[in-house]
Amino acid sequence: MTTGKKPRVMVIAEAANPEWVSVPLVGWSIAAALRRVADVHLVTQKRNAAAIARAGWSPENDFTAIDSEAVAAPMSKLADRLRGSPGVAWTLMTAMSVPSYYWFEHLLWKRFEPEFRAGKWDIVHRVTPLSPTTPSRIAYRLQALGIPFVVGPLNGGVPWPREFSKARRQEREWLSYVRDAYRLLPGYRSMRESAAAILVGSRSTWKQLGAPWFSKAVYVPENAISPETFSESDNRPSVRGPLRVIFVGRLVPYKGADMLIEACAELIKTGKVLLEIIGDGPQKTALEHLVGEHHLSQGVTFGGWLDRAGVAARLRQSNVLGFPSIREFGGGVVLEAMASGVVPVVVDYAGPSELVTPATGYLVPLGPRQTIIAKLRSQIEVLVERPEEMVAKAALGRSRVERWFTWDRKADQIAAIYDWVLRRAVKPNFGMPFPD
């Protein structure tokens, strides 16, 4: 292969959808961004095909949709029945998706084995599933054919804080107690041994990876933003006057919207804070009751679920993102907030603590529920009294996102990893977590 030539990369992203959020959006965004630095062909699941075609990609030429519904559909129905309610028991959902992914890869290999053997692809990169608990069973086959297999960014498995065992039960995370059993799954070890590079999305996942494979690992968080969607408004609200605090996320116990409401309660009553809750989920009714109990309806609004453009518009009208999630793997909304000139206040644990630095936001120490509420309250009181602090942090936050966390920058980082596995360059090291 000639130096400087774009590598021919098959991007495997079972979940990749430009019209959805969370993991499917990450899968799509990485695949789309990589087209600037590589000759990409996306292989995804059939459910994503229509949305990808609407985005202008050509079936077969640009992407291939694998119909794995014969296994995926019944496994999804069974998982929904076992979890009982939508929006909870995500460890169970991940575990139940493993057989579906095995079948997806079986069909993928059947479809593309002749092309693999013919040397059509320089690299095969599995982007999704993001979970490190879902192995690939084709990694060793590709290694045998001399095709570098890249996997990741892998992220997940953040331990539940001991102080939040009640939230763990409310989330129906019974399976999380035996999560480490995934190491016994077929393909767990062979994927790691056969991979040419392992992209790791967090310090927690890095520790889970284990010393035998550190030499293959590169730290690359999975989340990023699209500058054309998330940017600062020219007429954003002044930091003086009522402080506009926004929460964005699923309304489930571990996200901590209830803690944010309680932390802001007295400041809302005195008109110093206006709080907006964007999102939906099983906790919404309980949160509405909490607002009623504290007589906060004059200062708290529930905006419901919004698409990305809607979220971007609400962020541009806010000063502070209150996001006290106590078990967040990635925390993409934190990047969206910083790109919009909004200063984040997050719990110093897991994903958000690797995105936010003391120069770009505020990190509240992890502790028992009441301690987090008290620390949140204290921090927001400081911002009410000294709003000028937010100006510099907002500017530095935007700069941090532009430096490390746009999809184009993500593509550049992955391109450097491709050069390494193709022996064009030395192994990249971006730092962990990314420096200011």
Q: What CATH number does residue 38 fall under?
A: 3.40.50.2000
Report residue 4's pLDDT band, with 50, 70 and 90 as the boundaries. low
Backbone region of residue 172 per phi and psi (left: phi > 0; alpha: psi in -120 to 50; beta: other values): left
Residues 264-285: pLDDT tens digits?
Answer: 999 999 999 999 999 999 999 9
Report residue 163's pLDDT band, with 50, 70 and 90 as the boundaries. confident
Look at residue 258 and tell me if it is in a domain: yes
Largest CA distance in the chain: 71
Residues 87-106: pLDDT tens digits?
Answer: 666 677 777 889 999 999 99
Distance CA 273, CA 299 (A): 7
Q: How far is CA 133 from CA 45, 66, 78, 173, 324, in A?
A: 19, 22, 19, 15, 26
Distance CA 96, CA 200 (A): 23
Report residue 18's pLDDT band, with 50, 70 and 90 as the boundaries. very high
Would you state the pLDDT for residue 253?
A: 92
Q: Which of 20, 430, 388 is nearest to 199 (CA)?
A: 430
Would you state the pLDDT for residue 178?
A: 73
Q: Which of 335, 304, 320, 334 is nearest to 384 (CA)?
A: 320
* Residue 327 in this model has a pLDDT that exceeds 50: yes
Look at residue 357 and tell me if it is in a domain: yes
Same domain, 358 and 271: yes
Backbone region of residue 96 per phi and psi (left: phi > 0; alpha: psi in -120 to 50; beta: other values): alpha
* Residue 3 in this model has a pLDDT that exceeds 60: no
Same domain, 352 and 220: no
Count of domains for the chain: 2
Same domain, 28 and 172: yes
Residues 398-418: pLDDT tens digits?
Answer: 999 999 999 999 999 999 999
Domain encompassing residue 26: 8-224+406-421
Q: What is the end-to-end Cα distance of the chain in Å, rounded? A: 36
Q: What is the mean pLDDT of the chain?
A: 93
Same domain, 377 and 412: no
Look at residue 428 and tell me if it is in a domain: no
Q: What is the mean pLDDT of residues 240-263?
A: 94
Look at residue 414 and tell me if it is in a domain: yes
Same domain, 269 and 210: no
Distance CA 382, CA 191 (A): 49
Other CB atoms within a 10 A radius of the CB of residue 379 amount to: 17
Look at residue 3 and tell me if it is in a domain: no
Angle of helix 407-421 relative to helix 389-404, nearest 10 degrees, comes to 40
Same domain, 55 and 106: yes
Distance CA 264, CA 268 (A): 6
Q: Is 110 exposed, middle or buried (0-12, 13-18, 19+ CB in 10 A)?
A: exposed
> For 110-148, where are the E strands, in sequence order?
123-128
Same domain, 135 and 247: no
Residues 27-38: pLDDT tens digits?
Answer: 999 999 999 999
